Amino acid sequence: MNLPTTLSDLRVHGEHLLQFQVLGSTALRVQRLRNERKLGALRMGPDDVLAPPPRALARMQELMSRHYLEGRYANGVRKVAWVTSGAPWEPLEALGFFPVYPENHAALCGVRRRAEANCEEAEAHGYSRDLCSYARTDIGTVLSGETPVGRLPRPDLLVCCNNICQTVLYWYEVLAHHFDCPLVVIDTPFLYGEAQEHQVAYVRRQFDEELVPTAERVAGRTLDERELVRVMLEARDASQLWREVLDRSRHRPAPMTAFDGFLLMGPIVNLRGRRATTEFYRDLLAELDARVERGVGAVAHERYRVAWDNLPIWYRLSKLSKLLAGRGVNVVASTYTYAWGELAPLMDPTDPLGSGARVYLHPILNRSTGHKLEAMRTMVEGFSLDGVILHSDRSCKPYSLGQIDQRDQIVDTLGVPALLLEADHNDPRAWSEEQSVNRIEAFIEMLETAAS
């Protein structure tokens, strides 16, 4: 935290203390307790197709609301870093930066039905509709200042890692030009198998020569190795717990849906390396274990179990969940949510930068389509799946690449039905309600035929 040295600094710190630490945090805590009581009192009625969500959802809402509330008052109190979802965050957390993940903010805009207006704002300034809708949503936010979280803090540092796509490189160059602040780009070679040692060394060298020195200069402090080890330990533990949370849906009936997972993944993306995040996932796991023990399923009458490939359709989460659950379909697994848990075994707190270089080489989008097909094969077997839904995402080309062939392989090799559902993760203008519902209905008929 930056110490106040002027009257202006004192005012900024005072506002942070009053509005965030005292008033805001207290109000959010009270709201969380109320929501927990409400969720705890909910019971599944005879006409309900979905069980009440985990009570931990209230805690997640508090954590994320608290995060965005702090962001309103972070400038002048903490250094702010805007980072891509696949960027190496742990050194920045150890240096005390406040994180902003534009993709997470864009997803929030999607859920709150604010993404379309922000996309249109970006398009009005010349940005193509063919660009990623996350990028258009956040560029539109930067241009208009309109956001459901009140205000995003101005970045002191931008960190971009191209292990998810190349779009982020150009997106962050736009941000760097707009905000006139330093940009660090971490280049990760694409993997067709496991990472070779020279590839790991290449990424590690960028940490040592670019990321850490630039972040230290902006933060005005030196990276403390002991703090970095502590952060990596928390990040690893939280990632392991998150994977265990997702693995609980191997049980039948599954105690939660992948749609629950899309909402509950916020802290593992935005708040890795913090004790509160680790504790949150430990408590969530305990709640799911209690559900498993009591035989409580997330879907009232679970008949079919399917996986979801690609990003969620944020503006249709609730409707899709209810539509599928009403026909006995539980989406129990997702390649997207697993991306923040499957790499936990690679995290080594005794070598945070070295193991971090290996971790950030291995996200699913930095690996071959054959690897993703193998991941789905593992899900089909491990979760006893009856089918797979592949979201053909109009504005996420890297994730959608090869899905037609993957669908055919799933059907021909794995022997389960697969649906290619065309949409966009954040722009509702690419969604056709009637066409999508018809395709889902046809897919459920295929599940019924395969089961008979």
The 3-class SS string of the chain reads: CCCCCCHHHHHHHHHHHHHHHHHHHHHHHHHHHHHHHHHHHCCCCCCCCECCCCCHHHHHHHHHHHHHHHHHCCCCCCCEEEECCCCCCHHHHHCCCEEECHHHHHHHHHHCCCHHHHHHHHHHCCCCCCCCHHHHHHHHHHHHCCCCCCCCCCCCEEEEECCCCCHHHHHHHHHHHHHCCCEEEECCCCECCCCCHHHHHHHHHHHHHHHHHHHHHHHCCCCCHHHHHHHHHHHHHHHHHHHHHHHHHHCCCCCCCHHHHHHHCHHHHHCCCCHHHHHHHHHHHHHHHHHHHHCCCCECCCCEEEEEECCCCHHHHHHHHHHHHCCCEEEEEEHHHHCCCCCHHHCCCCCHHHHHHHHCCCCHHHECHHHHHHHHHHHHHHCCCCEEEEEEECCCHHHHCCHHHHHHHHHHHHCCCEEEEEECCCCHHHCCHHHHHHHHHHHHHHHHHHHC
Q: Using CB atoms within 10 A of its CB, is residue 180 exposed (0-12), middle (13-18) or buried (19+)?
A: exposed
274 inside domain: yes
Query: ∠83-89-92 over CA atoms, to 5°?
Result: 95
Q: What is the mean pLDDT of residues 98-121?
A: 97
pTM of the model: 0.95
In Å, what is the CA distance from 384 to each residue of 228, 299, 321, 372, 391?
39, 16, 19, 18, 20
The more confidently predicted of residues 313 and 370 is 313
23 inside domain: yes
Distance separating alpha carbons of residues 215 and 333, to the nearest angstrom: 36
- Per-residue pLDDT of 153-197, as tens digits, reads 999 999 999 999 999 999 999 999 999 999 999 999 999 998 999
Q: What is the mean pLDDT of residues 67-93?
A: 96
Asked if residue 9 has pLDDT above 80, the reply is no
What percent of the chain has pLDDT above 70? Answer: 99
40 inside domain: no
- Per-residue pLDDT of 307-344, as tens digits, reads 999 999 999 999 999 999 999 999 999 999 999 999 99
115 inside domain: yes
pLDDT of residue 7: 65
**Domain count across the chain:** 1
42 inside domain: no
In the block, tokens 């022997």 appear at 415
Closest CA relative to residue 289, chosen from 328, 318, 247: 247
> Domain containing 191: what range?
7-31+48-451
In the block, tokens 């996986």 appear at 307
Long-range CB pairs of 168-173 (<8 Å, 24+ gap) are 168/84, 168/135, 171/102, 171/132, 171/135, 171/138, 171/139, 172/82, 172/84
Q: pLDDT band at 18, cuts 50/70/90?
A: confident
Distance separating alpha carbons of residues 381 and 41, to the nearest angstrom: 36
